[in-house]
Amino acid sequence: MKKTLLALAVLAAAGSVNAAEIVKTDDASVDFYGQLREYATKNAKDTDATLKSSSSRAGINASYKVTDTVKLLGSVEFGLGESNSGDNRKHYIGLTSSEWGTLTVGKQSIISDDVWGVENSYLGNSASMLPEASGFSQEWLQQAMLKYSFETDAGWVQAEYSYDNGDTNPTVAELFVGTKVGSLDIYGGVGYQDDRTNTSTTTQSVVGSEIVSTTTKVKADKELKHGMVTVNYNGDGWNLGTTYWHAELENNSADTKLSSDSIVVAGAYSLTKKLQAYGGYEFVADYAEEGNDYNNVYGGMLYKFGSWARVFAEGGVNNQDAADDDYYYGVGARVYW
């Protein structure tokens, strides 16, 4: 399940409310946090159910007092799942102040992934929530990012700029703002990505009695512009919200352009203090190609043991004009610390 509001807008180094303290003094703190995600799923294209843990992770947050109002931050996070075990997911340093906000630099997640929208799916079946709906592969982690956040009683703002590192990464810039009006969370923003990264393709051929390898470098030339707005209402034991995304992709390398729009509605209702029903619907116009509309509906049940653990069961169906109908169902569990 992605965030439905920017709960961690200010303190960029915040990890988990269950984080274990390694060091705690008047001037410094070091916390160890993490989460294990295990789930089994089955969809129409799979012969057998699969067991996955691809989004599990753990990390360390450090905070050191510089002055009475300024702290130095440091954070590192590693993947624990089967597809990213040992991967360095994030690492950054920064400064935070209650007066002027938080500024960090390093390998960080893009803001549109941080704030997300009202998608509730625990099994990650969403297709519309990021500009990938336009067919653009936008990496959620950027290697050289400068990120700023600030929050007041009136609302919050986040901005980022990611350097291309000599065309080894895309250039990324995003700006998001949000506020709370009574029980309504309202936020949105815009983003831009210029991908001119170099990729290499190696082919082999036989010349005489020798095998000769030839490496060809290909330079990307893609531009992505996107924007979103989310409105989410938090009632007494329930919530309901909607998110709208617009994305425009211009692939100069292939001489193609695509404009894509998506709208999502999602909500949840607490049946008891620990048991919750949730669900959602998404529609994407021109998903990955013109004239290809995409629909997805899902629902599930969630049981929270506490802030440290939960289990869930979920299922959904989706269809698009350019592919066969698909469905999925599964169960899973998460443990936090």
Contacts of 137 (CB under 8 A, 6+ apart): none
Task: Summarize pLDDT for 281-321 with one digit per residue, the tens.
Answer: 999 998 878 888 989 999 999 999 998 999 999 999 988 88
The alpha-helical segments, DSSP class H, found in 59-207 are 111-115
pLDDT value, residue 4: 44
Task: Summarize pLDDT for 194-252 with one digit per residue, the tens.
Answer: 988 876 667 776 766 677 776 666 777 889 999 999 999 999 999 999 999 999 988 88
Q: Distance (Å, rounded) from C-alpha 32 to C-alpha 332?
A: 24
pLDDT value, residue 11: 34
The topology (CATH level 3) of 21-336 is Porin (2.40.160)
| CB of 192 closer than 8 Å to CB of 224 | yes
Indicate whether 190 pLDDT > 60: yes
Q: Where are the domains of the chain?
A: 21-336
* pTM, full prediction: 0.86
Task: Summarize pLDDT for 8-29 with one digit per residue, the tens.
Answer: 333 333 445 568 889 999 999 9
Q: Please give the average per-residue pLDDT across 262-288, as a whole number.
A: 94
Task: Summarize pLDDT for 63-109 with one digit per residue, the tens.
Answer: 999 999 999 999 999 998 766 666 788 999 999 998 999 999 999 99
- Amino acid letter for position 56: S
- Amino acid letter for position 12: A
| CB of 31 closer than 8 Å to CB of 15 | yes
| CB of 120 closer than 8 Å to CB of 268 | yes
